[in-house]
Structure 1
Amino acid sequence: MDPINILIVEDEAILRMDLSQRLSQMGYQVVAVADNGPRALALYQEHSIDLALLDIHILGEWDGIETARRMRQIRPIPVIFLTGLTDNDTFARARTVSPAAYISKPFNDFSLRSAIDLAVQNFALPPATDESATESTADHTLPEGAEPIGKGELILHTREYVFIKQNYRFTKFRIDDVLYLHSEGNYTDIITKESKYTLRLVLGKVLEKLQTPDIVRTHRSYAVNLRHVDSFSEHEIYIRSHCIPVGRSYRGEFMKGFEFK
């Protein structure tokens, strides 16, 4: 399981240190900090950043909004603005770069964690229509595209990562690191190179949410990542030390994943 990598852009040294400490205690990884836009952009290009916390008022010619705009031109990620400014003009400019969340100063651990969860969720999920957003708010249901995994937990994914909300925060792992999936009843285990994640979700729903052609179903209770198949026979697939069965009705779909020349 990889921690969520965070970039902090804040010109007040004490607040930078406070933020870094809070985030580390919550289980996030602060990989870089900066006090101005150009430095933040350089760090963004140098490191693998999953989420950025930017103060709107920072040192230099670029403010946090302009810095976020330039970051988005390179690669979009969820952005959270930190601000003590609440005027309409500032918020109007901030909206032009589609931030995932705002945190007003001063803030506490709860507001910080909630903003990060919201930012990751909004970034990973497709935009909701006005109608679906209204229904979700009225019924207190999950956003369209999210599936319950347990009390207060979600499964989301981007192109490279799967995000699972457990114990009140999102954790992530690479889709490429998934070896295979095993389902029993309404629960599905995702087996990765290093960990196992148990979801309260049937196998079909998990596959639907992952939406990757490399992971294919081989049995009513199993699916495998084709990238990690070491060998196979008519009835069995071997991934490392794991033996996964192949059901008769799934053989054709499994074989479609290979190119024959």
Structure 2
Amino acid sequence: MNIVIAISDPLLLDVVSAFIKNEKFSIVAQIIDPNKLGSLIDFHRPDILILSTDFADHLEEDKLLEVMTQYPLPTVLIDKSDSRDHYIMSERLKHCFYLVFPFTAYTLESILHNIADDLSEVYSSNYLYNKYIFIKANNTFQKINLDNIDYLNSEGNYTNLYVGEEKYTIKYSLSRLLEKSNFSSFIRVHRNYAVHKYDIAKIDFAERFLIARGNKIPFGRTYTKQIRAVMNLIG
């Protein structure tokens, strides 16, 4: 897991850097200029941001929220003052862990491991975080909201994700993908297809197809019971 540290206080920076010893985590950059926070996050594409409140205070809160909305990283916000205002700021940031200094190395490592556990790897170059999947291609990441995926289609060990007119392919089987809690809103309706559970608008049991988000999708006999259940159909 790659970490970017944005801490203004040199002593706090030294302490935090010394605490990150686990080989699972690597510090890829230390940001000292608040105005470069967004551009350096974009350049390094870290998995985790460690941010101090003294660094954050050099930015207007709206500017900080704008950067963190554009780059929704899991963030550890470190506060030396135990300030309620800073705690409220952490509540406004998505995926933020509020941590008051001083703390032990084990406390920080535990938080980093919790974040790492939430970042589910999907093959080597893609990853899931909460309701997003980040797909890497040509050294850039495409961020896709799982709610925007119309349906999933399996081709052996590959899965196609259809978003409107766009098609994204990952080297990960449909079965394994649907085991991820992030995809709990999907239901498998065919050996090769899955759709959002509550987007099934029409079903034809005679011709064995359904309509979900305007797409005509075949469904298999073995999945009929599950489909009936999510549609509240009796019999």
Name the TM tier (shorter chain).
Answer: 0.5 to 0.7
Q: Give the equivalent residue in structure 2 for 1:134.
A: none
Name the residue aligned to 2:41.
23
Q: Which residue of 2 aligns with 1:231?
A: 202
Change (3 A) 1:76 1:242: closer
Query: What displacement does 1:215 show?
Result: 0.9
Partner of residue 177, structure 1: 148
Deviation at 1:188, TM superposition (A): 0.8
Mapped contact 2:150–2:164 kept (Cα < 8 A): yes
Pairing 1:247–2:220 present: yes
Query: Displacement of 1:195 after TM fit?
Result: 3.4
Separation in structure 1 between the aligned mates of residue 8 and residue 102 of structure 2, nearest angstrom: 17
Kindly tell me the number of residue pairs found equivalent between the two proteins.
197
- Measured after TM superposition, the shift of residue 200 of structure 1 is 1.0
Cα distance change of structure 1 residues 26 and 200 upon mapping to structure 2, 3 Å threshold:
same
Q: Which residue of 2 aligns with 1:108?
A: none
Residue 36 (structure 1) aligned with residue 57 (structure 2) = yes
Q: Which residue of the partner structure matches residue 122 of structure 1?
A: 116
TM-score, length-scaled by structure 1: 0.54
Could you tell me which residue of structure 1 aligns to residue 104 of structure 2?
92
Query: 1:65–1:94: 8 Å Cα contact kept in structure 2?
Result: no
Distance 2:192 2:74 in 1: 39
Q: Distance in 2 between matches of 1:74 and 1:93?
A: 26
Stretches of structure 2 lacking an aligned partner (at least 5 in a row)? 1-5, 10-30, 47-54
Q: What does residue range 1-261 of structure 1 map to in structure 2 within 5 Å?
A: 15-24=33-42, 35-36=56-57, 40=61, 44=65, 48=69, 50-51=72-73, 63=80, 70-72=88-90, 77=95, 92=104, 95=107, 100=112, 122=116, 124-125=118-119, 146-148=121-123, 152-158=124-130, 160-167=131-138, 171-193=142-164, 195-234=166-205, 235-260=208-233
Question: Which sections of structure 1, spanning at least 5 residues, go unmatched?
Answer: 1-7, 29-33, 57-61, 82-88, 102-118, 126-144
Q: In the TM superposition, what is the alpha-carbon distance from 1:189 to its structure 2 partner?
A: 0.5
1:195-226 residue CA offsets vs partner (Å, 9 max, x unmatched): 32211111111111245443111111111113
User: 1:78 and 1:169 mapped to 2: Cα distance?
Assistant: 24
Amino acid of the structure 1 residue aligned with 2:118: A
Supply the RMSD in Å over aligned alpha carbons: 4.8
Q: Select the structure that is richer in strand.
A: 2
* Residue 249 of structure 1: how far off its partner (Å): 1.3
Task: Provide the C-alpha distance between the structure 2 equivalents of 1:189 and 1:236, rounded to a whole number of angstroms.
Answer: 19
Instruction: Tell me if the contact between 1:182 and 1:189 (Cα under 8 Å) persists in the aligned partners.
Output: yes
Measure, in 2, the Cα distance between the counterparts of 1:226 and 1:154.
Answer: 24
Q: Distance in 1 between matches of 2:155 and 2:202?
A: 24
Return closer, same or farther for 1:35/1:253 CA change in 2, 3 Å cut-off.
Answer: closer
Q: Does the CA contact (< 8 Å) of 1:156 and 1:209 recur in 2? A: no
- Partners of 1:97 and 1:71 lie apart in 2 by 22
> Once the 2 structures are TM-superposed, how far is the Cα of residue 243 of structure 1 from its aligned partner?
1.8
Rounded Cα–Cα distance in structure 1 between residues aligned with 2:41 and 2:146: 24
- The answer to whether the 8 A contact 1:41-1:70 is kept is no
Q: Offset of 1:252 from its aligned partner?
A: 1.4
- 1:75-132 residue CA offsets vs partner (Å, 9 max, x unmatched): 7615699xxxxxxx8563894696549xxxxxxxxxxxxxxxxx9x71624xxxxxxx
- Residue 114 (structure 1) aligns with: none
